Chain A
Amino acid sequence: MTQVLIPAGRGEAVTILGDNSDEVRMRVYVDNKAVDILPGMTVRHALISAGLLKEIGLKKVYDEWGNEIGLDGALAEGAKIFLR
């Protein structure tokens, strides 16, 4: 089995869980619904995971401050995005 070692990310978002807790995921929220994607994935993946990618074209994606964001935009742990 291959194992990759990657530097801890996002400063304070990193939770130190101990030697046995070695799993990776990123939880973000699409229209307030939690979805889990892999670190490094983008807005596009969050929408796929939420089953909402097909809405693009009719709607745009915004961050929690109301700014439009691109589908290839990076997300951070706990990010909240909205379609409208």
Chain B
Amino acid sequence: MRRSIVSGFVFILSILLLTPAWAGQSVIRILYLNDFHGFAAPHRPLGADETVGGLAYLAGRADALRAGKPSLLLAAGDMIQGNNWANLFRGRPAIEAMNSMRFDAMVVGNHEFDFGQQALRERISEAKFPVLGANVEGFDGLKPYVIRNVEGIRVAIIGVVTQDTPVSTDPRNVTGLTFSPPAAAVRKYLGELKDRADIFVVLSHIGYEGDRKLAAEVRGIDVIVGGHSHTKLEAPVKVGATLIVQAWEHAKALGVLDLSVDGGRITGYHGHLEVIRPVPGGEDKAVAAIVSKYQGMVDRTLDERVGTAEVDLDGENVRRRETNLGDVIADIMRKTSGADAALINGGSIRTSINKGPVAAKDIYSVLPFDNYIVAIRLTGGQIRRALEYGVSAVERGEGRFPQVSGISFTYSPSASPGSRVKTILIDGKPFDPDGVYSVATNDFLAAGGDGYTAFGEAVRSSKDFAAVGGMMKGEKLVYSDAGTWLRDVVMGYIKEQKTIAPAVEGRIKEVQ
């Protein structure tokens, strides 16, 4: 009798132990964030009617939404770069806040490479959560996937990042790394993990269009939590059997996806975006303290002296004539990009710096826009047209007036617009209209801003993407570093030089 009772107990225990923990229906909640870009404080986006965002408020909502529920908190990339709050400390504030928020995993975004590989290694070593990148080869700190056990349900999370990463950061930041096709990486790890997980999530930083293609091409993905395209997906989208979600940008929204799971399979879902508003009392106190701590450091950093100007730096006359500040900024752009010449619109330089100590905030006032350096190969003819356009409205003091480096030219303001430029020298030599020169500018002009068409014309004359031996050759695009603002490059230069005393060198001369 006693023996049979023991046997029965062992039998029941065996049944309990062997039965998957997910037997019966349960609900897993996935919370997600993407493209935070260091926007820690509430802000009012261009054109918006209200102030939104604020990482502490988002963390507060996440706390409330996670309370008592089996859940995951995921980040779909581009978390550590963008706003000064993150940039001035190479992304450390974002990781500290994410640790406090107890993120479960993050995929590396293209902008995570913007501070270089060493800085990214440091950020990964600080993170208390895995940083994923299944399609990145050559970088030891990234894991291809992680498996989380959520109340007995095994959730595999595979991370992939855009193959465009090398064209959106300084090429030196990705030296030695290979970004393979995301679909191939996802297929590979789905195969490896098929018996080790119940639910398969791809944490993606390839953009919504890429996510749709991935869902259509690769079977077996239950959920794609996406980023990169800054898409406001109000509700989950189903492509085939795969759910796709994405939560806009800049901590303006927190994504919420509830998955009903039965027998290890998803049987239902419901999802929405929670728009984040700075409601008093709604913040997570610990995250608020981190946001505040680093904001104080930002303020102190901007007040710090970075160098000395031995002369007044003229940002007032940049729309009418060559100035020493225009010269030095153009010189820095040319030197940084390794281009033959540089051309920037005077309108991008907003104020002067007085002789004396130069603080970081002075440089930020001169260059307030989030512009980065791009260098493109132009023909001599295109350079001439750019200069003609640049001086075509000098009498009205419009922002198109050029500040240049590596170029010197004369023009007659009394001649008709379009035929004002007389002589052009590049590197001190007469320019060849049919020659090709690399010219650095900012991304605004490269996209045709301020009416400049020469750069766009050069881009248009390009053929489509060309892959040669597995690599794409960028002959037209000489340099592009979307991850470093021009003002930070200028600040770095002045810090390095300690003292600057640029003079107007006679690069742009009026003649009659």
Contact = CB atoms under 8 A, between A and B. Distances in A.
Interface of A: 1-19, 21-27, 35-41, 43-46, 48-49, 51, 53, 56-60, 63, 65, 67-77, 79
Contact of A9 (B167, B339, B444, B480): B167
B231 A40 contact: no
B163 A11 contact: yes
A2 B476 CA distance: 10
**Which of A2, A11, A74 has the most C-beta atoms of chain B within 10 angstroms of its own C-beta?**
A74
A22 B473 contact: yes
A58 to B, nearest CB: 7
Interface string B90-109: 00000000000000000000
Interface string B214-256: 0000000000000011111110010000000000111000000
**Which of B232, B249, B376, B438 has the most C-beta atoms of chain A within 10 angstroms of its own C-beta?**
B232
Contacts of A58: 47
A72 B456 contact: no
Interface residues of B, number: 71
A67 B446 contact: no
B47 A9 contact: no
A24 B465 contact: yes
Contacts of B461: 23
A39 B341 CA distance: 22
B472 A14 contact: yes
A1 to B, nearest CB: 6
Contacts of A1: 377, 438, 478
Contacts of B460: 25, 36
**Which of B209, B461, B475 has the most C-beta atoms of chain A within 10 angstroms of its own C-beta?**
B209
Interface in B44-76: 46-47
Interface string B463-474: 111111011111
A63 B374 CA distance: 26
A69 B475 contact: no
Contacts of B168: 39-40, 74
Given A9-B465, A11-B163, A76-B209, A3 B47 contact: no
A38 B163 contact: no
Given A6-B166, A24-B462, 8 more contacts: A2-B375, A3-B475, A9-B472, A40-B167, A41-B447, A48-B448, A56-B47, A69-B229
Nearest to B164: A9
B422 to A, nearest CB: 27
B13 to A, nearest CB: 51
B271 interface: no
B471 A37 contact: no
Contact of B47 (A10, A57, A69, A76): A57
Rank and list the top 10 A-B pairs by shortest CB-CB distance, nearest first: A70-B230, A73-B230, A23-B462, A40-B168, A57-B47, A8-B467, A45-B447, A22-B473, A25-B462, A40-B167
A63 to B, nearest CB: 7
A73 B466 contact: no
A22 B163 contact: no
A34 B349 CA distance: 30
Contacts of A25: 459-460, 462-465, 476
A24 B477 contact: yes
Given A2-B338, A16-B467, A21-B466, A7 B166 contact: yes
Given A9-B167, A69-B231, A70-B35, A4 B249 contact: no
A73 B109 CA distance: 13
Interface stretch (B175-183, B189-197, B319-327, B495-503): B175-183
**Which of A4, A35, A51 has the most C-beta atoms of chain B within 10 angstroms of its own C-beta?**
A4
Given A23-B466, A24-B466, A76 B478 contact: no
Contacts of A51: 448
B471 A49 contact: no
B171 interface: yes
Contacts of B447: 37-38, 41, 44-46, 48-49
A79 B209 contact: yes
B475 A57 contact: no
A69 B232 contact: yes
Contacts of A36: 456, 459-460, 462
Given A15-B465, A73-B231, A10 B163 contact: yes
Contact of B466 (A22, A27, A68): A22
B200 interface: no
A56 B71 CA distance: 37
B208 interface: yes
B232 A4 contact: no
A15 B249 CA distance: 31
B210 A76 contact: yes
Contacts of B466: 15-18, 21-24
Contacts of A59: 47
Contacts of B232: 67-70
Nearest to B177: A7
A70 B248 contact: yes
B294 interface: no
Contacts of A79: 209
14 contacts: A7-B470, A8-B465, A9-B162, A9-B163, A10-B210, A21-B463, A25-B476, A48-B444, A51-B448, A56-B46, A63-B208, A63-B229, A73-B229, A76-B210
Contacts of B474: 3-6, 22, 24
Contact of A74 (B162, B178, B233): B162
